[in-house]
Structure 1
């Protein structure tokens, strides 16, 4: 759950730097990324903010991105209502993925507001285990960018943000 939600782009642009970094940190768990994105303000549109977020993520080292991936929950721990067998299969597949690639499995579907189907995650894990290291590194970074977009969308809320009460 993000503390900063529905700010709107204008309010986000006007935040003091310290508060903007804090709000952005909630999206990516990276002070370096959040600082750089905050320093790029004044964004003219959501697309400009998302492009800056993607550019800053691309600049982070693989080791740093691995540490970001490690902050995300394992798929088997995302949904409390998941069947025990499904939870076990997801946990086993996620561990196999981490052993294969050396970093945690990242999947933006786990963060979609409408939820996810555990079977879809298992299928995705299976397909991605067939990737070579270079391909999977790119896929993982793309998934992190999608998660950032989902969280940035929540941070901004609807056009103009939610009314201040």
Structure 2
């Protein structure tokens, strides 16, 4: 990114607070994360927005993380009518019935152990890669998993913020 303001970041900075709040909520369901990003407007560059997102993510409490995770459907079961989760979980769309059934079982086992949905930045991953990740991560401690989830949410937020800025540029 250059140091000049891009049209997408300029449009984001100019959004009225309710519209900016709604746009940020689409990126991440944590109200604390959204509030922190709103409070730091205006942003000079997209990279400044990403840095603020990363900083806000690092500051989220366990309850804030739970709120953020509640906005994500289980892998292999995107929310009906939600193009974002369908697009992000595209790697499961063509998966075999066997792989989908295995993911359902793994998702349930993970949720039983950790008390929340298995969260991974699914963009660009195959169904097999996501299955292998949940198999690997189910052996983690809750503390290890919380930090992995925080990092995965950060990646997802960056992708969604990038898309938000690009969509604004074409609007």
2: CA distance, partners of 1:133 / 1:97: 11
1:97 aligns with 2:104: no
| Structure ranking higher on relative contact order (CA contacts 8 Å, 6+ apart) | 1
C-alpha distance in 2 between matches for 1:19 and 1:71: 18
TM-score w.r.t. the length of structure 2 is: 0.80
Residue aligned with 2:76, SS: helix
TM-score (ref. length: structure 1): 0.83
Look up the match of 1:135: 144
Cα distance, 1:71 vs. partner? Answer: 2.0
Aligned length: 153
Of the three residues 132, 135, 154, the one matched with 1:145 is: 154
User: 1:17, 1:39 within 8 Å by CA — same for their partners in 2?
Assistant: no
8 Å contact from structure 2 (residues 29, 67) kept in 1 = no
Which runs of structure 2 are paired with 1:14-163 in the superposition (5 Å)? 14-78=14-78, 79-108=92-121, 110=122, 112=123, 115-157=124-166, 162-163=169-170
Which deviates further from its counterpart, 139-148 or 38-47? 38-47
In the alignment, does 2:8 pair up with 1:8? yes
8 Å Cα contact 2:99/2:127 also seen in 1? yes
Following TM superposition, the consecutive aligned residue runs of length 4 or more in structure 1 with deviations greater than 4 angstroms are none
Flag structure 2 segments of 5+ consecutive residues without an equivalent: 1-6, 79-91
Gap runs ≥5 in structure 1: 1-6
SS across alignment from 1:92 = helix
Counterpart-to-counterpart distance in 2, 1:94 and 1:42: 39
Does structure 2 retain, via aligned residues, the 8 Å contact 1:12–1:20?
Answer: yes
